[in-house]
Structure 1
């Protein structure tokens, strides 16, 4: 017999939709200067954030975002059943050390830039399955930490191609609950790792776009819905070029979402900020969702969204061995009430 909460091949539905009862965001100065700057809780002007390394600054941002989300939910760390978190640094060290400090039972996640929605999907499963009352989901990234880990030393000033994206500096957290006030998560579609042979680590939009289109199309097929069911389809960090590619791939699959399709990486920076193709990083989908999108849903301007966070599953090891880049995309339906 099929699993009772399975909806099609890759989608699950939640009998008692978990509630997003609180969120928190913190971003760097570049993100604060962008079009969505007013939607974030805190803008940090110093990318070191008072620490002596960028890695410690990222960790401090993540810890602060998580603490703020807990506080806004009128909870204490000991009330949280599980912490689901991840980042881009080796062995997700930002999340690991924050979990150490908070003392919450911890499940570390790595979905590259899709990690926020991976966490929301798994957190919703834990709550709807009866395994948790409260789940804390968090992610972080930092331009300087990611740049020197995946690409070149920041001091080198290497010129980036126009199709490259800019890693968002920031952290986001959300508390999911079995009951309460706030938007609800009604469905989740877990994506497949899709690799069409793109191997340029600077062109992550092209690597992730096929996975984004595959997950969006699969969600619509699984739920037997048409695109106009949603007010907005929003991907994580495809950037301008990746968004256009995903749009064309969706059209090839028979779905026209052109009038209701946006991307967090496109929204977070303005063209004048020289971010090239837009934003990326775990915090990209994280801060845009926990800031801007939550505010739009609570204000009633958006009622139903299909959020599709995307990730490029590469590493230094895979790149040095000449591997191509698999992409992943996880989708979550968030609805206002």
Structure 2
């Protein structure tokens, strides 16, 4: 489903915070805050995730001069069981809360819902975004970090980061969201949780193709089409899929991936970064700043998400995936 927003809701402000290891990110200089303690001086990793969300939202409010009572909706999610860090953070934010789970695609699905509420006139200001915490997610989906399990070259590193935006009525001075594509669930039968790029690439291809078709656009109409966390291998698969349908090398160079670039070429991070905080922190810092500076005029942000769980993997299920897209312009 492609949605065209007649009122073109704007991204009034944004904030991105990250953990200590994320100082190694090539996007480090664009983040608002990077802490020294992975747990944010809390007793558990999950409590640290809560504090990370709260800090990002407070930075966002500070940038605008608003307070929590000015916020109509808080739309967010994470990867921990039942999204408890986001739920607990919502206690402090005290706005009407809609928890969203699209796995690593939540960074964009939350913005889409915020735009719909703005279009309906139900919201003047909505906070939308996502987060992930490396230690908590490794323990939940794979192995505790102290276990020291070796990973294959196709694996990706879950980032500790959070990214949030404030969505409001159209303002030509700010980046505006003119259209969105809500992704379908795509499953090519991939079962390896250490090869998420291969599982998610077909979903990204489907969403991008449908968005371009319905919008009567071409790849070259964009300065940037950035996927969320396909990683280095998944990005190459995506480019190959488009090349097989006629995309030129020049057009394929427009495709970039936040996960593939997050840690640069450091081999310690294998195929790159992942986690719902990966695309959120890159989109809502680096990309938005490039739009405001005039380097980019039109971008398509495509967050990809793997919808499996530890239980479905143990039961031998394949990995269903989705991808959601927002078309963002700077007038």
- TM-score w.r.t. length of structure 1: 0.95
The secondary structure found in structure 2 opposite 1:22 is strand
1:191–1:329 contact (8 Å) kept in structure 2? yes
Cα distance in structure 2, aligned partners of 1:200 and 1:60: 32
Aligned to 1:300: 294
The secondary structure found in structure 2 opposite 1:271 is coil
Alignment of 1:114-193 (within 5 A): 114-180=105-171, 181-193=173-185
Aligned to 1:106: 97
Choose which of 206, 210, 219 in structure 1 pairs with 2:211.
Answer: 219
2:108–2:129 contact (8 Å) kept in structure 1? no
Aligned to 2:47: 56
Alignment of 1:270-289 (within 5 A): 270-272=264-266, 274-289=268-283
The secondary structure found in structure 2 opposite 1:45 is coil
Aligned to 1:194: 186
**Dislocated runs of 4+, deviation >6 Å:** none
Q: Which runs of 5+ in 1 are unaligned?
A: 1-9
The secondary structure found in structure 1 opposite 2:319 is coil
Q: Which runs of 5+ in 2 are unaligned?
A: none
The secondary structure found in structure 1 opposite 2:323 is strand
Alignment of 1:50-89 (within 5 A): 50-89=41-80
Aligned to 1:248: 240
Cα distance in structure 1, aligned partners of 2:329 and 2:313: 39
Aligned to 1:268: 262
The question of 1:206 aligning with 2:218 is answered: no
Greater displacement, 73-82 / 291-300:
73-82
2:178–2:328 contact (8 Å) kept in structure 1? yes
Cα distance in structure 1, aligned partners of 2:269 and 2:24: 12
1:83–1:105 contact (8 Å) kept in structure 2? yes
The secondary structure found in structure 1 opposite 2:253 is helix
2:77–2:129 contact (8 Å) kept in structure 1? yes
- TM-score w.r.t. length of structure 2: 0.97
Structure 1 residue 273, shift from structure 2 partner:
5.5
1:123–1:137 contact (8 Å) kept in structure 2? yes
